[in-house]
Amino acid sequence: MAQRLVRKLCQKCKKEVHLEGVVKDRIEKIALSIQDKSYSYQLEKMWTAVGCADCNSTGYKGRIGVYEAIYTDAKIEEVVNQNPSEHEIQEAALPQGLLNMSQDGILKILHGITSLEEVERVIDLGEALS
């Protein structure tokens, strides 16, 4: 299991931004890689920090975790015994269908919980796109 903390957008002053261009392509690529189709999301908008008296003009109020985990099943045990790279472990965990950190962060962006800038501050989304 791994986690990173991101700041939550202030619910009183966050500003809706229409997704377009390269940003939309990047977010869409990660969102569409989610295997479990029970996660709901939209690909039209995200939110950004503004700042108000309620959040001391930061645009953020509170924190939330961005997580990833894998189950230790027979396939993972087999791979781990071979001294694998991180990529090989991720490949072995794909059939589990669990979210990785990038996917969890993108879902939180698309639901207006945090901003793209905040997720990019703690996770390398470029690595998730390669």
Is residue 26 in a domain?
yes
pLDDT in tens, 85-111: 878 888 888 888 788 999 999 999 999
Is residue 75 in a domain?
no
Tell me the whole-structure pTM to 2 decimals.
0.85
| pLDDT > 90: percent of the chain | 62
Q: pLDDT band at 130, cuts 50/70/90?
A: very low
**The total number of structural domains that make up the chain:** 1
Q: What are 58's two structure tokens?
A: 């930061």
pLDDT in tens, 22-46: 999 999 999 999 988 898 999 999 9
pLDDT at 6 over 90: yes
Phi, then psi, of 119 in degrees rounded to 5: -65, -40
Q: What are 7's two structure tokens?
A: 């700041």
Is residue 15 in a domain?
yes
Helix (H), strand (E) at residue 88: helix 86-93
CATH number at residue 39: 3.40.50.300
| Residue 65: strand pairing partners | 5
Is residue 95 in a domain?
no
Is residue 84 in a domain?
no
pLDDT at 78 over 90: no
Q: What confidence score (pLDDT) does residue 35 get?
A: 87
- With CA atoms as reference, report the closest residue to 54 among 99, 112, 19, 14: 14
Decide if 13 contacts 89 (C-beta within 8 A): no
- With CA atoms as reference, report the closest residue to 103 among 31, 22, 26: 31
Choose between 27 and 72: higher pLDDT. Answer: 27
